[in-house]
Amino acid sequence: MGTIKKNSKEQEIGLVVRMKRILIVMDSCRYDSAVGLDTPFGEPDPAHTDTNHTITAFIDFFCVNKLPRPIDDYINPTFLREFNYIENLKTPVYFISDNPHLHPVNTHVKGMLNLFNEYKVTNKYFHGCKEIIDMANELDLGDDYYLVLWFGETHQPYHYGDHVNLKWKSFANRVVKYNRGADNITDKEMDEMHNKQREACKFILNNVWKFVEEHSDAEVIITADHGESLGENHRYGHGCDVHPAQFTVPIWHRKVNK
């Protein structure tokens, strides 16, 4: 493991990410929720997922190392490249989220995810991240392993930081009937949910990315596990339709410049 020179802020928090690759997943973040945001690192590329639900995204990410594919990545000369456009991706072994909904899901793929049982679900980014990252730093994993940071703020109900989506409960109570055809959700309400996801995305990009940037010199991929319908085909949510809104996600591939 190489050493990274600490700045004063790192000394204060005591955190250096030694892993050379970081994968940040913003759960449910559809592509257009990440476009046009005021963030430090520009527009994402659009990418396609194979799945519209977290469970099967886990299999894509962690069993077969298949990340969302940039839509413009046309050149697939080999099956391997088609299967996984990021070469040498190893199975990630760390999992951080502050989104409790992910954990009941784990039971469906328990054999695969036993790896994660040792690690804590965190409520606070920095201190929770620090525990996991400190553990990662202790292990000699080599440079091609990914540290996975999986964030749930972009997932319904779109709570982020200190922000609570007060409209969520009333909205959620109507979703089942809406998805069966009832006109019980207005366009304005749907737009409000879209804006909540955009704000949550912006929150993650501005806070977590900056944190990672300050504390590592890693190659970073930021993407989502699947998208979200926000009224397309008269559907709300994900795992409930085959519309591209549920399969189109943002992706950024960045190297931290030191």
Q: Which chain residues interact with Zn ion by CB under 5 A? A: 27, 54, 225
Nearer Cβ to Zn ion, position 4 or 105? 105
The kind and range of the H/E element at 22 are strand 21-26
**What is the longest distance spanned by two Cα atoms in the chain?**
58
Nearer Cβ to Zn ion, position 218 or 249? 249
β-strand partners of 51 = none
For residue 166, the minimal CB distance to Zn ion (Å) is 23
For residue 194, the minimal CB distance to Zn ion (Å) is 17
Nearer Cβ to Zn ion, position 6 or 53? 53
For residue 25, the minimal CB distance to Zn ion (Å) is 8
Helix (H, G, I), strand (E, B) or coil at 236: strand
For residue 4, the minimal CB distance to Zn ion (Å) is 32
Nearer Cβ to Zn ion, position 128 or 239? 239
The kind and range of the H/E element at 47 are strand 45-48
Provide the strand spans (E) within 102-247: 146-151, 219-223, 229-230, 236-237
Nearer Cβ to Zn ion, position 17 or 61? 61
Nearer Cβ to Zn ion, position 27 or 219? 27
Nearer Cβ to Zn ion, position 54 or 165? 54
251 close to 53: Cβ distance less than 8 angstroms: no
146 close to 25: Cβ distance less than 8 angstroms: no
For residue 134, the minimal CB distance to Zn ion (Å) is 27
Nearest by Cα to 198 from 25, 36, 23, 24: 36
State the Cα–Cα distance between residues 111 and 235, nearest whole angstrom. Answer: 32
42 close to 209: Cβ distance less than 8 angstroms: no
For residue 26, the minimal CB distance to Zn ion (Å) is 9
Quick one: how far is CA 226 from the chain centroid? Answer: 9
For residue 108, the minimal CB distance to Zn ion (Å) is 13
Nearest by Cα to 247 from 65, 25, 29: 29
- CB nearest Zn ion: which residue? 54
